[in-house]
Structure 1
Amino acid sequence: MPDAAPPSDVPTAPPPWTLTAESWLFPFWTSSSTKRQHQAAKRQTAQESDGAEVARQLGLPPGSFHPLEALASAHVAKDHGEFKGGLGAWILYRYTDSPAGPYDELIYVAGFFKSPDGKKSTPRITNIYVSTRASVWNGRRNWNIPKHVAEFSWSHPVHSDEAGVQTVSVRHPAGSPLRKAGGSGSGDDDDDAPFFSASLQPSRLPSVPVNTNLAIFPALPLLQPPLSDCSGPYGGDGDDADRRKLVEAAVASPSEGVWRSTAPTFRGGASMAYAKPLLSGGRYGDERGFPAATRTWSTGIRFRKVIVSFPEPVEARF
């Protein structure tokens, strides 16, 4: 693992990690025709981020990459592998214990991608938000997971025993230009408008024990490409104060050209759950900070308490 030092206020937390959390997972399916629709979509604005352009070329919806992730177009076909679609999901975690301390997390697993050598297809996290800088820096350094800081608002305490509906909203950090620009996408011109919002309801049906360490569960390792340095049109470290704030919020890590693969495992009681989008137009995301995810299945999975293990990554160059 690299020896680069984190910011002074961020503790180093090398892998492996064992975490305890409440989790909500809601899947979706990206078909070949849906992929072609995304590729055929027109550029929305002249100021659209590199991340949105890369998403379109790959066949992903806008918001699949954080606006700070300045992925060069030349990397799309050669270095980042073909997007195959298939099963994806967005996932919420409320970690009560981890090597980086407690934090919240919103993940977008776009689906399956071909590895650059074409030998296998694996799921990939393309967009992810967490509530602490410690999780951002360590997640990026340990596993090439493209984490960014966000603010999470929940209507109920973690591990709540209530069977009623709860809501969650996620916003860009206070003072971020991305937060100021987010209102137009969410149907609310208020600077406080979230880029993601959903209502969540656990089922009253009993939970079923799940342990993906068992042989009956197929291994689905993540294969994460090298990260950008977050120095694109919404980043940089020049004289512009807004750009400096964005880079600080990202806790950018330098790219080393190394791919990292890891196969997380999960152990806990899983039960059915239901979700509804709360942004205008029946969207979960504002299509800038997070995909609209309108094809999300309304029925998913809730782990009231889950133990997540993230082993040391396997590193590779292509």
Structure 2
Amino acid sequence: MATATRSRTQAKEDFPEAPAPWSTRCETYWMVTQLPSPLPVDIWDPLEATHSTCTVRDFKMGSTGVIMIVRYFDTPVGEYDELAIIPGTFSVTGGPERGQNRSRITRIYVNQKEITFNGRRNWNIPKHLARFEFSSPRTAKGSSPPNELTVTVYPPEGYKVRAEIPFFKATFTTMSWTPSFPLSTKYFVNTKFVQPPIPAGEDTALVGTDSWKSYDVSAWSNRAKLVWVKTEEGRNIVPKGWFPKFKPWSFGFMLQDATLDISKPEEW
């Protein structure tokens, strides 16, 4: 616990704080999957995997998982990109949420250190740094998104693996014959999240915490579209250690000009 406290103190000197709650605007792509139990290797980053709360025994097999690509254009900390995996729900073993099945983000990447710091500090979201590449820029307000978008995510520059080889790559192709429709996260995931304490890393952005945190996430858009999903595997993708293997449904969802809100957490 002392390590987590020291890391938080140092990080406050390095990064601006943006406390919860957050209300954001974004463009987001969702892939839906069902992961096996036990969960696949690399569902956690090696830093969090060493923590006693990162266990597969509380995972509820059969729950729906979501992999999200989010391109934020309006947040308390400016624009940024994000890749997150929510395997499904986990049984909470203590605190006011004891006995409940709640969603949990187990692995997540962003492209800025200050986002890493604030996500970990505010909600115990185990954010790590990565480099993002998109085949098209963010969609301007009032414009239509591209018919096809490829998202490629790489290890951060200067890391010990070859940073030019991605660990995640997916292409989303709009089903042009389908109309836009309203869509909300409540149709796919339990919108109440419970995150365990997270250990601190060597980088000051990787702040550690000592308490459990629960919070609500809501995302919705009046301009959602169905998209075909194709992910890349094989020798052109970084081997294990960065992201779990998963098989998404052949179709997913794109939410244009979406609102994504994250509440102030409760702690115990």
Give the alignment's TM-score, normalised by structure 1. 0.72
Question: For 1:200-219, what aligned pairs fall within 5 Å after superposition?
Answer: 200-204=172-176, 205-210=178-183
Question: For 1:113-132, what aligned pairs fall within 5 Å after superposition?
Answer: 113-117=90-94, 119-132=99-112
Q: Distance in 1 between matches of 2:54 and 2:147?
A: 43
2:266 is equivalent to residue 314 of structure 1? yes
2:121 is equivalent to residue 141 of structure 1? yes
* One of 153, 162, 177 as aligned partner of 1:170: 153
Question: For 1:61-100, what aligned pairs fall within 5 Å after superposition?
Answer: 61-72=40-51, 74-76=52-54, 82-85=58-61, 86-100=63-77
Q: Distance in 1 between matches of 2:39 and 2:182?
A: 33
Q: Distance in 2 between matches of 1:110 and 1:264?
A: 15
- Counterpart in 2 of 1:27? 32
Deviations 1:22-76 (A, max 9, x none): 000011113xxx31xxxxxxxxxxxxxxxxxxxxxxx21112111332524x445
Letter in 2 for 1:15: A
Matched positions, count? 253
2:179 is equivalent to residue 193 of structure 1? no
How far did 1:267 drift?
2.5
- Counterpart in 2 of 1:220? 191
* SS of match in other structure, 1:69: helix
Q: Distance in 2 between matches of 1:24 and 1:197?
A: 13
Q: Which runs of 5+ in 2 are unaligned?
A: none
Q: Distance in 1 between matches of 2:237 and 2:219?
A: 25
How far did 1:84 drift?
1.2
RMSD: 2.6
How far did 1:7 drift?
4.7
2:208 is equivalent to residue 254 of structure 1? yes
How far did 1:211 drift?
5.1
Q: Distance in 1 between matches of 2:105 and 2:207?
A: 17
Question: For 1:44-55, what aligned pairs fall within 5 Å after superposition?
Answer: none
Q: Which runs of 5+ in 1 are unaligned?
A: 36-58, 181-190, 231-246
Give the alignment's TM-score, normalised by structure 2. 0.85
- Counterpart in 2 of 1:188? none
Q: 1:155 and 1:90, CA in 2 relative to 1: closer, same or farther beyond 3 A?
A: same
Letter in 2 for 1:26: M
Quick one: percent identity of the two aligned structures?
A: 30
Letter in 2 for 1:60: L
How far did 1:8 drift?
4.1
- Counterpart in 2 of 1:14? 19
